[in-house]
Structure 1
Amino acid sequence: MERWSGILKVPLFPGSRGHYKVAASLCISTSSRNPTVPLMNAIFFNGDRVRGTGNPVIERLSDLESIATIIVSKLGNNVNAWVIEASKFNGPFAVYKDFIPSVNEWGEPKSYDSTGYPASTSIVSLLSNCLNEVKNTLSSRLEEPCGGEAPGSSFFWPKTLLFGFSKGGSVLNQIVTELAFSEVKSNVVFSQVEHDILPTSKESLLNSITEIHYVDVGLNSAGAYITDQDIINRIRKRISEGDSGIRFVLHGTPRQWCDSMRVWIGKEKDTMVHLLDAESQKSGGTLSVCERFYFANKPANMQMHFEVIESMDIT
């Protein structure tokens, strides 16, 4: 198995004015040179732009392709990695308006609301457009239709792992809210013809999520973490009706969790961990939460905020 890696610039929907920049690192069949079915899709939402720092570590870990390479190195060669950058920026501030309709001009969410399922719908559409672009790129080398079977099984649907870095964590909060209010449909399947590489509907996406990683998330306003007990309770009840569980992992550094100017970040994190832990004890092992703190003995700085992408333990 080989890999295809590159940067894609695609619209969310046909006719969309804005284009998303997405770094993709995909499994490629050595026999056909086609994208093939991975064991998992890892979707990473990036945060605000930080440029011109002169710091080579920050510059490297701000690069979307570098992040995709790191994700693959952590999860193995049978993963498709997708690193998504917001389509709109207000100066350095990422504005995920398509995923979170309530965001203000700086990209700060006013609330999280499942109405219309904007985040899950946008993910399905965006990644489908990305995959089509990859197919077009590889078309001159194709020998057979895209797709394929997972090792040892003719009925296989890859699981989805979500990552939100810095402001990208707000997209995770929107997805978690949508997950909490969605129905469990265990009979939702993927097409076994050409779209089995990715979920093809918001239902199949939400039902495929097995891990949610918050990577040093933080905002300049409230809303960095989910603190609504009803949402976490609904997540636990939803999981109990399905076939698989979900693991939440909160990765953090002193840069965010110990920021004396934004004390709400640490408090929101503690609240979310407490709520998840309480529901985990009722879940029979189907819901779990893990909190990991990095660079604990170092003074907070911007470099560690990016270094956690490379240092995070996702096992």
Structure 2
Amino acid sequence: MERRTGVLHVPLTHGGPLFRVAASLILAPSKALAVPRANAILFTGDRVPGTGEPAIERLSDAAYLAKLLAGKLAGEANAWVVDAACFAGPFAVYRELVPAVDAVGDPGRYDPTGLPAAVGVANILAHCIREIQNKVMRGPLNDSASNQEPAASLPPSCAPKTIILGFSKGGVVVNQLVTELSYWASKSAKNSVDVSQRSPALLTADLLVPATASDVLSSISEFHYLDVGLNCAGAYTTDHATIKGIASYVSQTSDTLRFVLHGTPRQWSDPDRPWILAEKNTMLRLLRDEANKCEGRLTLSEKKYFDGRPRSVLMHFEILEAMDIS
């Protein structure tokens, strides 16, 4: 299927810092943007400048990663790659999505109040779609034909799913969204909201992405942790109440929710940061315990890459090419 690929710079809010977003979007036969089966959103991590390693330079480029991710997606799915809007030197700081991070982007906690990550994702995607449609009116985006309509001509048969991926420091956004999903589901249950039903707004012909925080959260079908790791605690979700809330949410829906933890020796065998492996194992144990109560609707897996190779920064980036998200 033909795709429209390009890089956008969009604010979360008016006048706010710009997120660099690379997008690889499917096209309908009419050359309009097609309604996808899913939107896969990858959040990137810290910068690693001056390595002199071509592979690291290539795998640090959001536009390259959008094409790479698109090639790994089954079916008709859109790929989005989001860089942090702010950096402290080489350190990615996702403060707009995870307000409790410190000056170098490390999380003090994951606070779901106000659903900042879900609101942020909805706003980023909305700004991107609006900018793409404006570009269509003026001329082509990179790697696509001109004179294309701004939206699909036919409404989707069902709402697109959302697949969330976090690489390295980008894992803090995944953890924030997991925390927000658990919190939102709990609040919705108390308010007698049917979390199995998505917003009708998602089914309009010209809406290709989730429109609200609730739409984002209710559409999530998969969480992928891609060699995540921090210089402090918080690389993985280890709060039991949060995981129990996720299991309770899944039990109320007819859909499945999938967690996949991908890792390399760079993170999982680091003798100087043993908490990364400990957190990963804790999260897996909590998920397994709760999955047993969910009749197969909560699934999880652990995928190891480059076992037996010496730890290196290169393997940390190479997981992006090697990752199996099928």
Give the distance between the partners of 1:282 and 1:155, measured in 2 at CA.
31
Residue 141 (structure 2) aligns with: none
Give the distance between the partners of 1:144 and 1:34, measured in 2 at CA.
5
> 2:277 aligned with 1:266, yes or no?
yes
Residue 225 (structure 1) aligns with: 236
Residue 115 (structure 1) aligns with: 113
Assess, with a 3 A threshold, how the Cα gap between structure 1 residues 283 and 76 changes in structure 2: closer, same or farther.
Answer: closer
TM-score by length of 2: 0.92
Residues 115-139 of structure 1 show CA distances to partners (whole Å, capped at 9, x for unaligned) of: 0000000000011001111111111
Residue 12 (structure 2) aligns with: 12
TM-score by length of 1: 0.95
Give the distance between the partners of 2:95 and 2:29, measured in 1 at CA.
39
> 2:27 aligned with 1:28, yes or no?
yes
Residue 298 (structure 2) aligned to one of 272, 287, 293: 287
**Which ranges of 4 or more aligned residues in structure 1 deviate by more than 3 Å?**
140-145
Give the distance between the partners of 2:272 and 2:11, measured in 1 at CA.
37
Question: What are the equivalent positions in structure 2 for 1:150-169 lying under 5 Å apart?
Answer: 154-169=156-171
Shift of 1:28: 1.6
Residue 305 (structure 1) aligns with: 316
Give the distance between the partners of 1:145 and 1:126, measured in 2 at CA.
18
Residue 127 (structure 1) aligns with: 125
Contact 2:225–2:260 (CA<8 Å) still a contact in 1?
Answer: yes
Residues 194-230 of structure 1 show CA distances to partners (whole Å, capped at 9, x for unaligned) of: 11x1001111111111110000000010000011111
Give the distance between the partners of 1:143 and 1:40, measured in 2 at CA.
21
Give the distance between the partners of 2:41 and 2:269, measured in 1 at CA.
27
Contact 1:218–1:256 (CA<8 Å) still a contact in 2?
Answer: yes
Shift of 1:52: 1.5
Q: Which runs of 5+ in 1 are unaligned?
A: none
Residue 194 (structure 1) aligns with: 206
Residues 134-179 of structure 1 show CA distances to partners (whole Å, capped at 9, x for unaligned) of: 11111145565513447xxx53111111100000001000000000
Q: Which residue identity lines up with residue 267 of structure 1 in the other structure?
A: A
Where 1:200 maps in the other structure, the secondary structure is: coil
Give the distance between the partners of 2:147 and 2:106, measured in 1 at CA.
43
Q: Paired residues, what number?
A: 309
Assess, with a 3 A threshold, how the Cα gap between structure 1 residues 193 and 257 changes in structure 2: closer, same or farther.
Answer: same
Q: Which runs of 5+ in 2 are unaligned?
A: 139-145, 189-194
Residues 46-73 of structure 1 show CA distances to partners (whole Å, capped at 9, x for unaligned) of: 0001121111111111111111111111
Residues 218-256 of structure 1 show CA distances to partners (whole Å, capped at 9, x for unaligned) of: 001000001111100010001111121100000000000
Residue 142 (structure 2) aligns with: none
Residue 172 (structure 2) aligns with: 170
Give the distance between the partners of 1:144 and 1:305, measured in 2 at CA.
40
Where 1:270 maps in the other structure, the secondary structure is: helix
Where 2:3 maps in the other structure, the secondary structure is: strand
Contact 2:196–2:254 (CA<8 Å) still a contact in 1?
Answer: no
Give the distance between the partners of 1:186 and 1:113, measured in 2 at CA.
25
Give the distance between the partners of 2:148 and 2:302, measured in 1 at CA.
46
Give the distance between the partners of 1:93 and 1:313, measured in 2 at CA.
26
Contact 2:162–2:222 (CA<8 Å) still a contact in 1?
Answer: yes
Contact 2:19–2:84 (CA<8 Å) still a contact in 1?
Answer: yes
Give the distance between the partners of 1:242 and 1:91, measured in 2 at CA.
43
Contact 1:186–1:243 (CA<8 Å) still a contact in 2?
Answer: no
Assess, with a 3 A threshold, how the Cα gap between structure 1 residues 148 and 159 changes in structure 2: closer, same or farther.
Answer: farther
Contact 1:149–1:155 (CA<8 Å) still a contact in 2?
Answer: no
Contact 1:95–1:103 (CA<8 Å) still a contact in 2?
Answer: yes
Shift of 1:193: 3.2
